[in-house]
Structure formats: C-alpha cells, structure tokens
Amino acid sequence: MSTMAMDTQIGSGSQAAATEAAKPFFSVRDVHAYYGESYIVQGVSLDIRKGEILALLGRNGAGKSSTLRTIARTDDPQMRQGEIWLDGDPIHQMKSYQAAQAGIQLVPEDRRIISGLTVEENIFLAQVAPGTGWGLDQIYESFPRLAERRKQEGVTLSGGEQQMLAIARALARNLKLLLLDEPYEGLAPVIVHEIERILHSIKPLGITTIIVEQNAVAALKLADRAVILDTGEVAFSGTAKEVLDNAELRQEYLAI
C-alpha cells in the first residue's frame, strides 16, 4: 500500500470518528403534542450529544413539562407528529414502558416515591424492571444519605432526600436519558449543591440529562446546552453560556 493511500485511509477513518462524535445521541424532530384538542407542544426540535446536560427553560406554562412527558411517551399529552430518536432507536412509536426500557427515565415534579415501601424497597422495585442499572452498593456510595436511611419509609424522607431517591431509582434502571422536572423545587441550597454534584458525577458515565428548572441560573451553570420554550415553540437553542451572557434573552423569556 502506498503512503498516500495509507494517509487517505487514516484521514477518512478519523473523519468518520469525528462525524460519529458530532452526531446527536438524542434527537427530537418537529414534535407536536395535544391534551385532547389543546395544542401544546408545537413543533419542538432539539439535539443532545452523549453525556451532555441540556437545560430546558421558559416561563410558566411554556410547555416544559409537556415536552418531557412527550419524550417519555406518556399517553397525555398525545404526540401526533414528529420523531424522537435515542441512541439510534426510534422512540416515537413507543409506549411509556417501552421508552423506559429503552433507557428514558422521567423524574416528575412530584417524584412519585411509593408509600408503604422503605428507601431500599423503592430501589429494589426499580431494579425489577427490565434493563440493568446500578446496584445497591454503587447507589449508596453516591448517595450516602440514602444509605443512612435505607430502612426508612421513602415518603417520610425530606424533600431533598426524596429527590435523591427518585434519581437513584432512575439510576437503578437502564438509564441513557434522564429527564428531571424541577428537581430543585423547594430545596435548600446545600441540597441543591449535593444534587448538582451527583448530576456532574454521572456525566462522564455517558448519561445524558434534560433538566427543567425555575432556578434557571443554577440549571444554566450545570448545563452544556440550553433550549428556551415559549408557548410550546423553541424560542432559543444554543449553549448555556450564550444564555447566561445574554441579558436581553434572559429578561425576555426567563425574567432573570
């Protein structure tokens, strides 16, 4: 083989690797969703690379929770148009349990800790679901507060501890895309920092995250990318830094 041919081969190989790295891991393409006849998610598109954190922001009623629910394939709102792709898998035709099996885990605002079960039983129940996630040891290492309270009933935990348990439960399942709806709501800054530390620590493991937060500054400091919704449409898409640096944009859509 001539040197030239070899060069070409090496060149095209690294180019292919570069294309692979630039390809989005998760993609939402022109998604439209309705509650009955109420048209709420109006053509949302977004892309995230593997291991990135995306802050999904916007005013009250902008459609942030509805977008997360659509991605998680809940029945309500009903998706009527568009495509959702995760790691090469089409998600748009799936039911919510199938999307969860494919690696999409939604932690809703109310956290859904199951009453009557201890912390540990809540985690066990998540592990029963098909697909493999973290074991108990790994969870307790990352969440020492949960280890201390393993025998306590989950619903008696503090708000911050319940949020940690909800995230731990997502990690106990097959987790590729973590959807967090207002994880910091009602939490003291010290607990917010602890959750931020956990979200940072799972990034290098390739877990990709979408975070919806009223505390936009905290979310933007954590995130790589940002999407701002306005009445169900994407008003801005770019880096988190662009939003932090753009006072006009923050004022108009985030009132910060």
Ligand X SMILES: Nc1ncnc2c1ncn2[C@@H]1O[C@H](COP(=O)(O)OP(=O)(O)OP(=O)(O)O)[C@@H](O)[C@H]1O
Among 46, 65, 73, 100, binds ligand X (CB under 6 A): 65
Sign of CA dihedral 69, 71, 72, 74: positive
Q: Does 183 bind ligand X (CB under 6 A)?
A: no
Q: How far is the CB of 77 from ligand X (least distance, A)?
A: 7
- DSSP strands (E only) in the chain: 26-35, 38-48, 53-57, 78-86, 89-90, 104-107, 177-181, 208-212, 225-230, 233-239
Show contacts with ligand X in window 74-103 (CB under 6 A). 76
- Find the binding residues for ligand X in span 6-35 (CB under 6 A): 35
From ligand X, Mg ion, none, which one binds at residue 28 (CB under 5 to 8 Å depending on kind)?
none
Site pattern 138..157 for ligand X (x: CB under 6 A): --------------------
Query: Does residue 65 touch Mg ion according to CB under 5 A?
Result: yes
Least distance (Å) between residue 25 CB and ligand X: 24
CA torsion sign, 234 to 236 to 241 to 247? negative
Residue of the chain from 46, 55, 62, 167 that contacts ligand X (CB under 6 A) = 62
By CB under 6 A, tell whether 2 contacts ligand X: no
Q: What does 2 bind: ligand X, Mg ion, none (CB cut-off 5 to 8 Å by kind)?
A: none
Alpha carbons 100 and 122: distance in angstroms, whole number:
17
Stretch that binds ligand X, among 24-32, 63-71, 100-108, 136-144 (CB under 6 A): 63-71
**Separation CA 92–CA 41 (nearest Å):** 14
Does the protein bind ligand X through residue 58 (CB under 6 A)? yes
Q: How far is the CB of 56 from ligand X (least distance, A)?
A: 9
Residue 60 touches ligand X, criterion: CB under 6 A: yes
Q: Does 186 sit near ligand X (CB under 6 A)?
A: no
CB of 194 to Mg ion, least distance (A): 23
Residue 38 binds ligand X (CB under 6 A): yes
Between the alpha carbon of residue 5 and those of residues 2, 8, 26, the distances in Å are 5, 5, 35
Who's near 87: CB < 8 A, 6+ residues apart? 25, 26, 50, 103, 176
66 contacts ligand X (rule: CB under 6 A): yes
By CB under 6 A, name the one of 31, 55, 64, 173 that touches ligand X: 64
CA 190 to chain centre: 22
End-to-end distance of the chain based on CA atoms, in angstroms? 61
Count of residues in the chain: 256
Evaluated on CA atoms 86, 99, 211, 163, the torsion sign reads: negative
- Beta bridge partner(s), residue 56: 212, 227
Residues near ligand X (CB under 6 A) are 35, 38, 40, 58, 60-66, 76
